Amino acid sequence: MKYSKLIIILCFIKSFEGTCLQSGAEPNLADLNVYGILTAIEGSDAFQDLMNNTKIQPWFARMKNLVEPHRIDTSIMTILECIGCTLIVYGIPFSMFVFTIAHHPFRIIIAMTSAFFWLISMLLSSLLRFMVVPLRNQLAFAVLCAVLFQEIFRYLFYRVIKKAEFSLQKVQLQELTAKGMTFDRFAVAYAAGYGFGFISGTFSIVNVLSDTTGPGTIGIFGHSQDFFIATAFLTLTIILLNTFWSIIFFTSLDKGGIHRHLGPALVVITHMLFSCLTLLNRTTKPTYSIPIVNAFYNTSKMSSAAQRKKIAIVGSGNWGSTIAIHIADKIADLKDEYEQKILMWCKEETLDDGSKLTEVINEQHENIKYLPHERIPDNVIALPDLCESVKDADILIFVIPHQFVKKTCEELKNKVKPSAFALTLIKGFYIDEETNNILLVSQVIKNTLNIPCLSMMGANIAREVAEKVFCEATVGSRDDKHSETVRQLIDGPFFRIRVYPDVEIIEILGGLKNVIAMCAGFADGLNAGFNTRAAVLRLGFREMVNFCRLVEKESTAEIYLESCGIADLIASSLGGRNYNGAKKLAETNKSLKEIEKEDLNGQSLQGPGTAKEVYRFLQGRNLLDQFPMFRDAYLICEQKIKPHCLLENLTNHPEFQRK
C-alpha cells in the first residue's frame, strides 16, 4: 500500500512540473491532467499528503475555482463527443445493416454467428498471449498472434458455411426462399464479414471511449483532442475492412488454381499491415496513410468480386434445362466473371408420385419430366418463385413457350435490375392487335422490362445439345458488348454461334419454322412419299423467305442459309416437338391438347400459336392465297380442314404460277 501511495505521489509531482497555472498563466493540458489525477484520488491518504505541499494546495484551490463552475458543461461535452465518435463508428455500419441485412433472416443468422466466431478468436488470441510469458510483452508477437488466430477462425467459419450450403441443398429450397433465406455465396461472405467487423470495431471503440469516462473533458488523461475522432474513423475502417476481407477471402476460396490461395494470402497480409500501425507509427500523430491505402486496395478487390455477373434461366422445360446445363459447364472456368450459382425458374408441378418438380430437380439433379437421364449440375437451383429467380440477375435467359411471355414479363415488371439484359431462345412472335404488325418476343421483353434483349435461334434439338452433340446457332444482336457476353456463355467446341445484326429476321424465322415443321409432320403422318416431303420443305422454306421479306425488304439471302434459317427448319422437320405433334394429329383423331398431354409429356406446341398469328397477319393484308401452307396449317390446327387438304393444295401453289 505504501509503495502504491509513493508511486502516485511521484507520478503526480512529475506531471505537476509541466503545469502553467502555478506561474500565473492560463491552465494548459498538463494542469487539466494533474487536476484530473487529484480529483480521482480525492479522499485518499495520498491526496492528503499532496495537499500538505505549499505549492500544490493553493494551485488545487485555484484550479477548483476555475474548473468546478464548468464541470457540468465539460461533462456534457464529454458525453456529446462520445456520442459523436460512436455515430462515426456505427453510422455507416448501421445503414448497411438496415438496408442489406435486416430484411434477410438468413443474413442476420450469418452475421450473428460470425460475430460469435470472431469474439472467440479475439478471446483465445488474448489468452494465448497471456500464457506465453516470455513473449507477451512483445507487441509484435501480440499482433502476429491476434491476426493469425482471427484469420484461422475466418477460415473455420468458411468451412462451416460450406457445410451449411451442402445441407441446404438437401432441404426444400422453395420454403427457404419464401422466408427470404436463399443461399447467396456473396451475400453470405458479406454478412460474415459484417459480423467480424462489428465485433472487432466494438472492442476497439469501447477500449478508447472508456478513457472518456473520467472527470473533466476529453484529453483529461493525456490524450490529444484528435485522438478520439481519429480512432473513431480508424474503427469504422476496421469494420469496413473486415467486411471486404471476408468477401475476398470467401470468394477466393471458391475459385480454383492459384487464385484460391492468393485471396486469403492478401487478406492475411493486409490485416497484418493494418494491425501493425502501432509498430510503424513512432510519432504522436495518427497514421492515416496505411489504413487509407489498405482500405482503397481492399475495396477495389471486393468490388471486383461484387461485379461477378449473375445468371437466371426463365423456364425449365427440356430446352431450359439443357441451356442451364450448358451454361453451368461454361462458367465453371469463369469464376472471376460469373456467379457460379444459376437460378432456374420452374413452374411448380406435382408429379405422379406426389413430389414437387422443383424438389426433384434440386435433390436428384435431374429434370425427370422434361429432360430425364441428363444430370443437372449442383449449382443450378430450381425455384418456383419467378421474381425470386431473377432477383439481382444480370443476365436473364428466357426459355418458355411464346404464348406465356407476355404474362411472365408482366409479373417481372419493375423487378429486374435496370442494368441487366435478356436473351430469348423462344421461337414465336405476336401480331399487334391495333396495328396488325409483327411484335417480336424480344420486343415484348424489352418494352415490358425496359432492358435490352438479344435472340438466339438455330437447329438445336435439346436432347442432342444436352448430350454434347455438335450444333450451331445464330444470335441476333446489335450490341457488341452483350453479344460478346452471350458468346462467352454459349460458344464452345460442340456449340458454335454466329452473330448477325438481322435481329428481326432471325427471330421471325425461328417462329415460322415451327409452322412448316408441322406441315412436314402432317405429310409424314399421311405417309406421303419422299418427293412430296421434300416439296413440303422446299415450298415451306420459300413461304418463310417471302414472309420475312414482307417485314424486312432489305434482308439478305445469307441470313436464310444460317442455322436460324434452313438448318433449323430441317432439324425441326426431322424430329422436333412440332413435327411429332403434327404427325400424331394426322395419324389419329386426337386434339392438340390431348397430344400435348399424352404424347408430349405435357410440353406445349409452339407451332399452332404461331400459325394463328401468321394467319391474322396475312388475312389483314389479303395475302392468304399467296401463303397456302401457312394458311392450311392454321386451319388444320383449328380442325376446319383435314391434313390431306394441305397436300392437295400443293399442286396449285403460287410458286408454280411464276414465270
- The three-state DSSP-derived secondary structure of 261-272 is HHHHHHHHHHHH
User: Would you say residue 638 has pLDDT above 70?
Assistant: yes
pLDDT at 523: 95
Q: What is the pLDDT of residues 479-534, one digit of tens each?
A: 999 999 999 999 999 999 999 999 999 999 999 999 999 999 999 999 999 999 99
Q: What is the mean pLDDT of the chain?
A: 80
- The three-state DSSP-derived secondary structure of 228-240 is HHHHHHHHHHHHH
| Residue 1 pLDDT level (bands cut at 50, 70, 90) | very low
Q: What is the pLDDT of residues 181-218, one digit of tens each?
A: 455 667 778 888 888 888 877 777 666 655 555 443 33
Q: What is the pLDDT of residues 333-343, one digit of tens each?
A: 888 789 888 99
Least confident of 14-28, 360-374, 384-398: 14-28
- From the list 252, 289, 251, the residue with the least C-alpha distance to 273 is 289
| Residue 423 pLDDT level (bands cut at 50, 70, 90) | very high
pLDDT at 89: 78
In order of 24, 231, 352, 382, 610, the CA distances from 337 in angstroms are 71, 37, 40, 22, 37
pTM of the predicted structure, to 2 decimals = 0.64
3-state secondary structure of 557: helix
Report the CATH fold assignment for 505-657.
N-(1-d-carboxylethyl)-l-norvaline Dehydrogenase; domain 2 (1.10.1040)
pLDDT at 306: 52
In this prediction, residues 315-327 reach a mean pLDDT of: 95
Please give the torsion angle defined by the CA atoms of residues 161, 416, 306 and 122, in that order, rounded to the nearest 10 degrees: -40
With vertex at residue 287, the alpha carbon angle to CA 283 and CA 290, rounded to the nearest 5 degrees, is 135
Mark 463-502 as b/e (b = at least 16 C-beta within 10 Å).
ebbbeeeebbbbbbbebeebbebbbebbbeeebebebbeb
| Residue 312 pLDDT level (bands cut at 50, 70, 90) | very high
Q: Which letter does DSSP use for residue 492 in this model?
A: B
Write down the domain spans for the chain.
2-53, 72-306, 309-501, 505-657
Between 326 and 46, the more confident residue is: 326
Beta pairing class for 309-314 and 366-367: unpaired
- Give the whole-number percent of the chain exceeding pLDDT 90: 40
| Residue 581 pLDDT level (bands cut at 50, 70, 90) | very high
Between 549 and 80, the more confident residue is: 549
pLDDT at 7: 44
User: Would you say residue 564 has pLDDT above 70?
Assistant: yes
| Residue 98 pLDDT level (bands cut at 50, 70, 90) | confident
pLDDT at 178: 43
pLDDT at 383: 92
**Other CB atoms closer than 10 Å to residue 329's CB: what's the count?**
12
Q: What is the pLDDT of residues 437-480, one digit of tens each?
A: 999 999 999 999 999 999 999 999 899 999 999 999 999 999 99
Known catalytic residue at 417: no
In this prediction, residues 355-364 reach a mean pLDDT of: 91
pLDDT at 403: 85
Task: Say if domain 309-501 classifies as CATH 3.40.50.720.
Answer: yes
User: Would you say residue 173 has pLDDT above 60?
Assistant: no
- Give the whole-number percent of the chain exceeding pLDDT 70: 74
In this prediction, residues 69-86 reach a mean pLDDT of: 64
Q: What is the pLDDT of residues 49-64, one digit of tens each?
A: 767 766 777 777 777 7
pLDDT at 184: 63
Least confident of 110-124, 218-232, 293-307: 293-307
Q: Which three cell numbers stand for residue 457?
A: 435461334
| Residue 406 pLDDT level (bands cut at 50, 70, 90) | very high
In this prediction, residues 607-613 reach a mean pLDDT of: 92
Q: Which three cell numbers stand for residue 635?
A: 386451319
Least confident of 168-172, 550-554, 591-595, 615-619: 168-172
H helices of 42-138, in order, are 45-51, 56-67, 71-100, 105-131
Least confident of 164-173, 194-203, 254-263: 164-173
| Residue 35 pLDDT level (bands cut at 50, 70, 90) | low
Residue with cell 383435314: 642
- The three-state DSSP-derived secondary structure of 272-336 is HHHHCHHHHCCCCCCCCHHHHHHHHHHHHHHHHHHCCEEEEEECCCHHHHHHHHHHHHHHCCCCC
3-state secondary structure of 658: coil
The packing angle between helices 259-275 and 139-168, to 10°, is 140
- 397 DSSP β-pair partners: 313, 423
| Residue 172 pLDDT level (bands cut at 50, 70, 90) | very low
φ/ψ of 653, rounded to 5, equals: -60, 140
Q: Which three cell numbers stand for residue 158?
A: 468458411
Catalytic residue among 301, 356, 513, 584: 513
Distance CA 212, CA 91 (A): 20
